[in-house]
Every structure is written in C-alpha cells, then in structure tokens.
Amino acid sequence: MRKRAAVLLVAAVLLSGCAVFAPSCGYGQLKRYETSFLDVFDTVTYVKGYALSEEAFRKDADAVHETLVKYHRLYDIYHTYDGIANLKTVNDRAGTEPVRVDREILDLLLFARSVSEETGGAVDVTLGAVLSLWHEAREYAAAHPGDAYVPSGEALREAARHTGFGLLEIDEEAGTVFLTDPDARLDVGALAKGFATARAAEQAPAGMLLSVGGNVAATGPKPDGTPWVVGVVDPDGGEGYTHTLEIGRTSVVTSGDYQRYFTAGGIRYHHIIDPDTGYPSRRWKAVTVIAGDSGIGDALSTALFILGREAGEKLLLLHGAEGMWVGQDGTEYFSDGFPAYIRDQ
Ligand code: ADP
Ligand code: MG
C-alpha cells in the first residue's frame, strides 16, 4: 500500500517535472504567451504564461477569464444579470428581504467581515451609503468637469448612520444575506477584485502571471525558475517605475491617491475614504502590499492606505505580508521583509 503511494508520488513528480520544470523533458520548448481582456472588474486584465503551444496557453487563459467573469457578475453592485442574484440584488433588497446567494458571495462577505474586524472598521464593505455619494460626485465631475461638487458634510454624516456590519445579516445555513436598513448599501471595491484574482490564481497552472487592473498575482516563478518582475508605479505620475519587484508565488497590490479621483476647487478627491472622517484619506500617497493571497493583499493595501504605520505593520504581521508606504513628501517606508523583493539595480 505504502509502496504504491510512493510510486504514485514519483509518477506525479515526474509528470509535473516533464510538463514544466526539467530541461531534459523539454521546458526549453515552452514559449511565452500573453493575452488581455477588458470585460471584468471595469479594468484591463493581463494573463501571461509559458506553454508548449498557443492552444494550451489559450485553454488556461480562458479558464482564468471564465472564473473572473463569474466573480465579476456576482460581485457587481451596478448591474444585474439574468438568472443571477448578485450584490446589486442584495443592495436593491435592502430593508426588504434576505436574498439567497451563491457560496462565492457568502465567502466574500465573511472575508469582508473579518477584514472589518481586523482593521477596526477602516476597511468596511458596508460603507456603501457613504461611498456612493463619492462615486456620484466623481461621475458627475467626469461628465461636468467645470461644475464638480464635493458631498456635503451633512450628507456624509447622514449616510454614515446607515453603515456597519451590524446592518448585514449573513446566514450561512440558509445561504442568505440581508441588509436590514433600507438605506444601507454594500460596496466591495476595496477587496473584491483581489479576492476574485486569488480564486482565479488558485485554479491556474503554476508559473502564470495574472494582472487584474494592477492587482498582480503570480502562481509561481517562470518555468526556468526565474521570478516574475513587477513594477511599482510612481504615485506622482513619473515615467517608469520607482521599484521593480521580483516575485515567485505571491501577489502584489497597490492602492494610491492617483488611481481614481476628481478635482473640485483645485483639490483632488480620490477614491479611498477614511470612515472616521467620511473624506478621502490624506495620510499616504500610495501603499504597496506583497501578500500570498491577493484578496488579503487587496484588503490590506486599502487598509494600510488609511491607517498609520504601526497599525499597518500589525496587519502585515498578522498575515505574513510585506508593505511599502509612500508619504505625502515622497518618503518611502518599508516593512522588514519588503526590500528582499526589490530587484538590485
Ligand atoms: P482599486 O480598486 O482602485 O485598486 P482599492 O482596492 O484601494 O483601489 O479600493 C478602493 C475602492 O474601495 C473604492 O473605489 C471604494 O469603492 C472602496 N472603498 C473606499 N474606501 C473604503 C473603505 N474605507 N472601506 C471599504 N471600501 C472602501
Ligand atoms: Mg484594495
């Protein structure tokens, strides 16, 4: 019995070795392929990898795409899709009735609840009522650049009364979720893209690189054992990268004040809101997190962007993650293990 298991194990190692690693088995014939698509999470997704043929790569990339489309539809708060109860459905039924949802939605919201607890509410998907005021102001500014407005303090305070996980009932057994306050809304923008990217990466073959709107996840080093190289963009919009990181099987996520914003009265209002004030957080220009799971990386990058260094360091330690902060004056700060990922120039 034991021998059979050993033989099977050797066979498995040989098989995977032949397909991917051992030069004698032909990894030299692997070619690099790349594809992109535009229909998930309102952003550009790249898939890069090595395969023996374009057809083989296409099959893996299609599987990644399919997974991302599935999660995109479930986590969409702006559109409905035939035959699916998604987060828009949950928002639309706020104060009315519990909604039966797929396991993927329960998993996301349970994860989001733990993130809210760990971050002391700094990252909280039940902030939708507040975040939607900023979203509307940003959309209005895009359509009427000369006429941009900022949500009023009064409107923000009123919206804040309809936030908090106390208003979200997650019933795992019944498979339902329910926003009990008719004015409460979910907004999962802080972590859903990373959560979905992590799930897609889990299903992808080793040695692939996924980038979903800059939310990067590598499923292992390239087949020849060399790392993937990921650039950290300059938050001030400078050419090139401020750092290049070398990664194997991990994920890199950045949150920054330059990513999505509008300008009113000469002041830039970006998209990451400090729940304590109701306004965009001004503490950092950007933060980059390296985390094994890109859902955690996404949640942490938003959290670190809002929180002070000490609270951020604690979160990184809790998850075995690394982080880099860029202060308003451009000074960079690193967690202890971060510099090891930076490629020597
Ligand atoms: P991006 O998605 O642009 O990479 P982030 O991951 O940092 O950026 O998430 C920003 C998005 O998260 C915002 O667009 C908004 O939808 C949502 N958000 C902003 N502030 C918060 C917050 N304090 N808690 C939860 N979600 C937030
Ligand atoms: Mg995030």
Range of the domain at 121: 87-179
How confident is the model at residue 20, as a pLDDT? Answer: 46
- pLDDT mean across residues, the chain: 93
Residue 111 in any domain: the answer is yes
Residue type, 95: G
Residue 157 in any domain: the answer is yes
d(CA 272, ligand 1 centre) in Å: 5
Measuring from atom 19 of ligand 1, which residue has the nearest CA?
Answer: 272
Residue 336 in any domain: the answer is no
d(CA 89, CA 99): 7
Per residue in 271-280, pLDDT (tens digit) is 999 999 999 9
pLDDT surpassing 90 at residue 28:
no
How confident is the model at residue 344, as a pLDDT? Answer: 80
Residue 297 in any domain: the answer is no
Kindly indicate the confidence band of residue 63, based on its pLDDT and cuts at 50, 70 and 90. Answer: very high
How confident is the model at residue 26, as a pLDDT? Answer: 55
User: Which residues, other chains included, contact 126 with Cβ-Cβ below 8 Å and sequence gap of 6+?
Assistant: 116, 163, 164, 165, 167, 168, 179, 184, 185, 186
d(CA 217, ligand 1 centre) in Å: 19
Q: Which residue has the higher pLDDT, 100 or 18?
A: 100
CA of 305, closest atom in ligand 1: 7
What is the number of the ligand closest to the CA of 215? 1
Kindly indicate the confidence band of residue 13, based on its pLDDT and cuts at 50, 70 and 90. Answer: very low
Question: What is this structure's pTM?
Answer: 0.92
Kindly indicate the confidence band of residue 78, based on its pLDDT and cuts at 50, 70 and 90. Answer: very high
Contact, 260 vs 281, CB < 8 A? no
Pocket test for ligand 1, best of 72, 136, 187 (most atoms within 8 A of CB): 187
Q: Which residue has the higher pLDDT, 238 or 5?
A: 238
Residue 229 in any domain: the answer is no
Query: Taking CB atoms and a 6 Å cutoff, what residues make up the pocket around ligand 1?
Result: 122-125, 127, 131, 187, 189-190, 193, 255, 259-260, 271-273, 275, 298, 301-302, 306
Residue 289 in any domain: the answer is no
Per residue in 288-340, pLDDT (tens digit) is 999 999 999 999 999 999 999 999 999 999 999 999 999 999 999 999 999 99
Q: Which two tokens stand for residue 145?
A: 């650049």
pLDDT surpassing 60 at residue 61:
yes
CATH label of the domain that carries residue 140: 1.10.3980.10
Contact, 180 vs 127, CB < 8 A? no
pLDDT surpassing 50 at residue 25:
yes
How confident is the model at residue 27, as a pLDDT? Answer: 59
CA of 194, closest atom in ligand 1: 6
Per residue in 256-276, pLDDT (tens digit) is 999 999 999 999 999 999 999
- Helix ranges restricted to H, the chain: 2-16, 54-75, 87-92, 103-118, 128-143, 153-160, 192-203, 294-306, 309-319
How confident is the model at residue 140, as a pLDDT? Answer: 98
d(CA 303, ligand 1 centre) in Å: 9
Measuring from atom 12 of ligand 1, which residue has the nearest CA?
Answer: 190
d(CA 4, ligand 2 centre) in Å: 46
Per residue in 82-130, pLDDT (tens digit) is 999 999 999 999 999 999 999 999 999 999 999 999 999 999 999 999 9
CA of 256, closest atom in ligand 1: 7
Residue 118 in any domain: the answer is yes
Kindly indicate the confidence band of residue 345, based on its pLDDT and cuts at 50, 70 and 90. Answer: low
What is the number of the ligand closest to the CA of 127? 1
Region for 337 from its dihedrals, namely left if φ exceeds 0, alpha if ψ lies in -120 to 50, beta otherwise: alpha
d(CA 173, ligand 2 centre) in Å: 29
d(CA 314, CA 308): 10
CA of 254, closest atom in ligand 1: 4
Tokens 């938003």 belong to 302
Average pLDDT value for residue range 143-156: 97
d(CA 223, ligand 1 centre) in Å: 34
pLDDT surpassing 60 at residue 246:
yes
CA of 260, closest atom in ligand 1: 3
CA of 298, closest atom in ligand 1: 6
Residue 114 in any domain: the answer is yes
Structurally, the chain folds into a number of domains equal to 1
